[in-house]
Copies of this chain bind each other. A is one copy, B any other.
Amino acid sequence: MTPIQEFFKQEMSRRGDLTSKQKQILEASLTLFAEKGFEKTSTADIAAMAGVAEGTVYRHYKTKRELLLAVLAPLMAVMPNMVAEFDENTVRKPITTLQEFVQNLVRDRLEFLDVNYKEVKVLAGELLFNTDLRREFINSLLSKTEVFSDLTKTLDRLKAEGKVVDWPTDLILQFTLSTLIGFVGRQFIELPSELTKDQREKMTVAFLVKGLTP
């Protein structure tokens, strides 16, 4: 499992105290929110899919919106890490080339985005119009991408060694993240391609490596 995915699982298991009903409810909510969007999902739908009574949903979550937040909470907690953390220990030797750096990042994050596709979709839809949540999300993001984050440190080192172009870290992250999102987004809209996913992943790495070379 990739490091980020690992983080996520830990976050989820922190909720080990969830009853089975709660899990069913969260699962159903996630699925339906991802499928039809939050607003178009009725609590009756959720109850039906979860196989519980509507009242049961409200016994565990005071409002529908609270249910949404519960669904998003693990992701909200991990997302900033996804942008800021970088686990050098998963590879034997420390990162010494841009190629290594990008490759690690891409593989790790792509899988995460892929596996947690539903959560990401729901979060995206919510961030689009929910100003409050957006603000909160950005703040937690900013608090993570500080100078001493793993990723920042690794990047700075590579910059110092002249292995990465000397642009602000946040811009580099922006390019990287948007390229990754583009990759996943493309799958999402199911655009056909003459290439395999692996080939596209390789080219994505190549694109980033070249783009970020000084």
Q: Give Cα A150 to B87, complex, Å.
A: 44
B37 x A128 contact (CB < 8 A) = yes
Interface set, chain A 40-60, CB cutoff 8 A to B: 40
A36 to chain B: closest residue by CB: B129
Size class of the contact patch on chain A? 35 or more
Q: How many copies does the complex hold?
A: 4
Chain A contact residues: helix, strand, loop or mixed: helix
A207 x B129 contact (CB < 8 A) = no
Q: Give Cα A138 to B125, complex, Å.
A: 19
Partner pick for A125 among B129, B165, B170, B212, CB 8 A cutoff: B129
Chain B nearest CB from A162 CB (Å) reads 15
Q: Give Cα A211 to B174, complex, Å.
A: 14
In addition to A39-B39, A40-B129, 11 A-B residue pairs with Cβ atoms within 8 Å of each other are A35-B129, A127-B189, A137-B189, A165-B210, A168-B195, A175-B204, A175-B207, A178-B183, A178-B185, A210-B210, A210-B212
